[in-house]
Structure 1
Amino acid sequence: MCFCKNPETKKPYRKGACPKYKKPGHAQWYGRYDAPSTGGKRRQPRIGPFRTRAEAEAAVRAEILRTSLGGMPCAYKVTVNEYVQDWLVRNKPRLAPTSFEDYERIINNLLVPALGHLQLVKLLPHHLRALYRVLGSQSVVANELVPTVTERLAPARAHHGARKLKGTWQYPLSAKRIHKVHAVISSVLTEACDRGLLVNNPATHAGLPAVVKEPPLVWTQARIEAWRETGEKPAKVMVWTPEQCASFLRHLAATRERYVALYQLAMTRGLRSGELLNLRWTDIDLTAPGSFTIRGTKTPRSRRTIHLGQANVVALGHWRRSQRRERDNSALPWTHSGLVFTDQCGRQVSRHTLRERFIHLTGEAGLPPIRFHDLRHCAASLALASGIDLKIISETLGHSSHSFTADFYTNVMPHNDRQAAEAVFALLDHTPAGHDDARPRPSGQQ
């Protein structure tokens, strides 16, 4: 309600009757406070608008407290959208290209449409909780914030089952992906706290869904038969047996697959797709026994130097000669990228091309499906089956800790503990049931 008077009656207008009522800021409350001076000049930032005087007074008290704790004055003028766009520009040089693309996609397709209109200092934990609830479900009806967030995200949402491309998302997002979204938002807000725009980080108490780690399962014969009947994989992460791995490599050799060295290196040394596609010839030593250096894509432990093995040295040597022939005979301009694995023009192979080609080759070989990243798990399972120490496997894979390797691969090879099981029966001096002498007979019984 405003305090304007009717010029004819000289009386205040009734609520909503003022002709200026619909103008922005009219009939609303604003506040001013004395902020820390700069250069001896008095500063009185204006904050608002607010619907009631009580809201304005509470905001002024909160702002005085925030600035007294080191917060930056005039923060009410900065919206979430304005700050995150500035954050992207400032942090682009320090981020890897793929990481920046993911950050940009999360910010522009999720954070900005849902919460970008809010002033940064008014962003609270319950706003983020509402966002994560919407992302974790196809259709959520809960507190008053959730429908609003759902409506704002509608243009960026894709139908269930759609491919997760730039600008589109498959819903509901997994708990792991929501944790990634939260990590990006938390990084942005942490910097806002460091710069004095915020006193407390609202991402600290956002309430994230629990992530259930799915350990890999092996494609046993029973699981293959069940998959052929139902078409459903037993688990998201599946691993081939050593026999299935060998069958895949034989198929690559028989069909003269272009990237046979790449798939073999992934299966035997456990490189991530990003590590493979960014590998350079200057990082490889093909002198027996051969080694290569990974510059690292995730953690400091991912930067490592590991051995190739003689078979990989031979495969990479063949590939290098083939790549040079392509360069010399190419009718198109050749890109001198220095990368190990390139297309026919010397350009970097895209992850999408690599994964789609792998799916095609798996079907051709008549093997049960696994993801390209699961070749990394195959490398771990082959190493475990060979009796290699778990610490060495962890260092080869570049895991952040040895305990993660132990926890994740405890059941990846169901036959690893066969000797232990037989040793238990030997200790008990017990013959398996089904044999004639399965149980000791009472004395006198024939």
Structure 2
Amino acid sequence: MGPFRTRAEVEAAVRAEILRTSLGGLPCAYKVTVAEYFQDWLVRNKPRLVKNSFEDYARIIDHLLIPAVGELKLVKLLPPHLQALYLVLGAQNMVANDLVPAITERLAATRTHGGARKLQGTWQYPLSAKRIRKVHAVISSVLTDACEKGLIVTNPATHTGLPPVAKEPPMMWTQARVDAWRETGQKPAKVMVWITEQCVAFLHHLAEVGDRYFALYQLAMSRGPRCGELLGLRWPDVDLNAPGSLTIQGTKTERSRRTIHLGQANVVALRHWRHAQQRERERSGLLWTHSGLVFTDPWGKRVSRHTLRERFLHLSDEAGLPPIRFHDLRHCAASLTLAAGADMKIISDTLGHSSYAFTADVYTNVMPYNDHQAAEAVFTLLGREPA
């Protein structure tokens, strides 16, 4: 009879022996656990992944997937296991089948409640549908690799249902919405965008307090680079000769690799910042970290996203402005560029969106100027003038 119960186990064992060298010495396929394969995948793929992407993959694998189903044999991982994981991630308390209670208990150590922020290794529950889809994308990518190497026949992630992502288009902070927010404390939508006057007020406040990252915030608000793109920007990729430009090497997709023109105000602000950074370097001496990054802390080290975001929230509150997230400065850049009369295709290229259609779809609700002009144009055609 042999040690195998089924023909599938025999075939998996043969494939594993053939591929054992390429897998860095992992045991036979039918003995490889989910934890072993996913950790091996992380090691093999670290060189090709951007730092932020690798860290996000590692968090998902080490703190969500492995605690939940890591002890399972890879060949035994089924769609119901992943479905149960996603159900747990999407709810505080859920008992849908026998798998869910076990996964809930295993993930207990990674949970944080009471509105706490996401920390290294901990997650605020429930996860959003968008975040669950990110978790799924990571899992699916690794399992696709396992399929290509012949360790599993099919990818169980392809047969797993996912929660729908509700589209939340940006909304402008009109005066009426600001008044309602001040009265109730409730934001009208998750994604809010400052109008032009609010953007101007924020920059004026930064100038008044002499904030060290004035150039960063102005660049984010006027040209819309992503947070990761700003924090990973290096001086060799910045041209401060008029009219000025910067080259984004790309952190997400092929279209995210692009050149953005700065505008004179950004050129001036970045020149001032470069001089300030040079003075900090001279004062720090041997303590300075030669990172080559444009935006650094007082010792030349990379600025953390958390630090930048917390600082932004503090500054906007200090300026008396309604709340937006740091990422929403990107939406401010799009709405300001629209108001200036730029074509949607240019805005899509500047922001590095995956497609023009995505840009047009997202920013339908942040076109008050264009919509106002269109409304007046319609009445002009109808021969109706204001009374």
The 5-angstrom pairing of residues 410-421 of structure 1 reads 410-421=364-375
Partner of residue 217 from structure 2, selected from 263, 270, 274: 263
Paired residues of 1:219 and 1:238 also in contact (CA < 8 A): yes
Structure 1 Cα separation of the partners of residues 299 and 55 of structure 2: 24
Instruction: Tell me which residue corresponds to 1:196.
Output: 150
Once residues 327 and 79 of structure 1 are traced to their aligned partners in structure 2, the CA distance between those partners, rounded to angstroms, is: 49
Is the CA contact 1:290–1:308 (under 8 Å) kept in the aligned structure 2?
yes
The answer to whether the Cα contact below 8 Å between 1:80 and 1:117 also exists between their aligned partners in 2 is yes
**d(CA) in 2 for partners of 1:353 and 1:394?**
28
Larger displacement relative to structure 2 (332-341 or 241-250): 332-341
What CA deviation, in whole Å up to 9, does each residue of 1:266-310 have, x standing for no partner?
Answer: 011101111111111111111111111111111111111121101
Equivalent of residue 387 in structure 1, options 315, 326, 341:
341
What's the % identity of the aligned pairs? 72
SS at 2:260 equivalent: strand
Secondary structure of 2:63 counterpart:
helix
Q: Shift in Å at residue 123 of structure 1?
A: 0.6
Q: How does 1:153-302 map to 2 (within 5 A)?
A: 153-302=107-256
TM norm structure 1: 0.81
Q: What is the aligned partner in structure 2 of residue 52 from structure 1? A: none
Which residue of structure 1 aligns with residue 9 of structure 2? Answer: 63
SS at match of 2:123: coil
* Amino acid of the structure 1 residue aligned with 2:116: A
**What's the CA shift for 1:425?**
2.2
Are residue 80 (structure 1) and residue 34 (structure 2) matched? yes
Higher relative contact order (CA 8 A, sep 6+): 2
In structure 1, distance between residues paired with 2:68 and 2:255: 36
* TM-score of the pair, normalised by structure 2: 0.93
Give me the whole-angstrom Cα distance separating, in 1, the residues matched to 2:136 and 2:15: 23
Q: Over residues 389-433 of structure 1, what are the superposed CA-to-partner deviations in whole Å (9 max), with x where a residue is unaligned?
A: 11111111111111100000011132321122122223333456x
Give distance in 1, aligned partners of 2:89 and 2:98. Answer: 16
Amino acid of the structure 1 residue aligned with 2:292: G
Consecutive unaligned residues in structure 2, runs of 5 or more: 18-27
In structure 2, relative to structure 1, the CA distance for the partners of 1:235 and 1:71 (3 Å cut) is farther
Distance 1:345 1:145 in 2: 49
Q: How far apart, CA to CA, are the structure 2 residues paired with 1:324 and 1:156? A: 42
Whole-angstrom distance in 2 between the partners of 1:281 and 1:266: 17
| 2:9 aligned partner, one-letter code | E
Is residue 362 from structure 1 mapped to residue 308 from structure 2 by the alignment?
no
1:229 partner letter:
E
Following superposition of structure 1 onto structure 2, how do residues 333-372 of structure 1 map, counting pairs within 5 Å?
333-372=287-326
Letter in 2 for 1:391: K
1:221-248 deviations in whole A, cap 9, x for unaligned? 1111111111111111110001111111
How many aligned positions are there?
A: 377
User: Any runs of at least 4 consecutive aligned residues in structure 1 with deviations exceeding 4 A, and if so which?
Assistant: none
Quote the RMSD (CA, aligned, Å): 1.7
Distance across 2 between alignment mates of 1:424 and 1:232: 35
Q: Which has the higher helix share?
A: 2
Partner of 2:266: helix, strand, or coil? Answer: helix
Q: Which has the larger radius of gyration?
A: 1
Q: Gaps spanning 5+ residues in structure 1: where?
A: 1-30, 33-45, 48-55, 436-446
Aligned partner of 2:65 in structure 1 is 111
Kindly provide the CA deviation profile for residues 16-39 of structure 1, in whole angstroms up to 9, marking residues without a partner as x. Answer: xxxxxxxxxxxxxxx63xxxxxxx
